[in-house]
Structure 1
């Protein structure tokens, strides 16, 4: 399954639009918050199913965390602000272990991250609008096939 992973789009449609051709090719899109309304826009532009949570800049009455399964992998999705991700992954790591997650997807820092620790993949796609510590806007295409996870960072 091909999954587009975006975060921290911050209602900047001119940058979101650059990701649309890639996201149209996906089977699922995941949005890790800021701004939740952008997930609706992306869905309307791609017609691809989307899983999305609200971030610290969102006021929508929607979930701020989701736990779901894709291709036998348990994915924990949140924005990350409630787990102090700007200061490291210790808190989100505890949550991941408590819910038996295989993959943790979050945003908030606007900094791309792709690391594996104790057999859990921690993935932050960076930001499509306001990147930090890197000089490019980014998102991720994650491909899960036969239990194997392949991550491709797309830089805009």
Structure 2
């Protein structure tokens, strides 16, 4: 197993100061996973420092999310280190994110695991996790990071870890 420090955040809803505080406490971080509803907040936090590779121009070539919509997958060789101590970043859109060039879900490797990240609203997570677990099984994911409920959750169903950081707002 590969050891990584991963910051999992979701549902900031404008609370940029809370993001800053949480990430300062968690420092050093290898990967930030933002599960939607506040994509502009995490963008602002990331842009407070410049990216060595693009000089601070966080355009299509530098944004982690891309515009591929559902089912985008990434391997380590295509991930892009950006901003603040070159922290790797994965971001997905939530139901309250009305702008942003990010997918609704993403599958990526981290810490020797295959992780599915989505906001959760398309999987009706407020009523249960079965649809989310089915999707994870379909994509052969070891873990799912999601938000939407604003309630922290860390549990395992059918051998798949379900991780919801709750709302940081």
User: With structure 1 as the length reference, what TM-score do the two structures score?
Assistant: 0.77
- Answer yes or no: is 1:86 the counterpart of 2:126: yes
RMSD across aligned positions (CA): 1.4
Residue 35 of structure 1: how far off its partner (Å): 1.2
Residue 44 of structure 1: how far off its partner (Å): 3.4
- Answer yes or no: is 1:112 the counterpart of 2:152: yes
Residue 26 of structure 1: how far off its partner (Å): 0.7
- Answer yes or no: is 1:64 the counterpart of 2:67: no
Structure 1: tracts of 5 or more residues without a match: 130-156
| 1:43 and 1:50 in contact (8 A); partners too | no
Matched length: 129
Look at both structures and tell me which one has the larger radius of gyration over its CA atoms.
2
Residue 42 of structure 1: how far off its partner (Å): 3.1
Task: Give the number of the structure whose residues are more often strand, by fraction.
Answer: 1
- Answer yes or no: is 1:18 the counterpart of 2:17: no
- The equivalent position to 1:7 in structure 2, one of 6, 10, 15, is 10
Matching of residues 110-149 of structure 1 within 5 Å: 110-129=150-169
SS at the partner of 1:85? coil
| 1:32 and 1:79 in contact (8 A); partners too | yes
Structure 2: tracts of 5 or more residues without a match: 49-83
Distance in 1, Cα, partners of 2:45 & 2:128: 29
Deviations 1:7-54 (A, max 9, x none): 001111232222131243111100000011122123235442210001
SS at the partner of 1:100? coil
User: With structure 2 as the length reference, what TM-score do the two structures score?
Assistant: 0.72
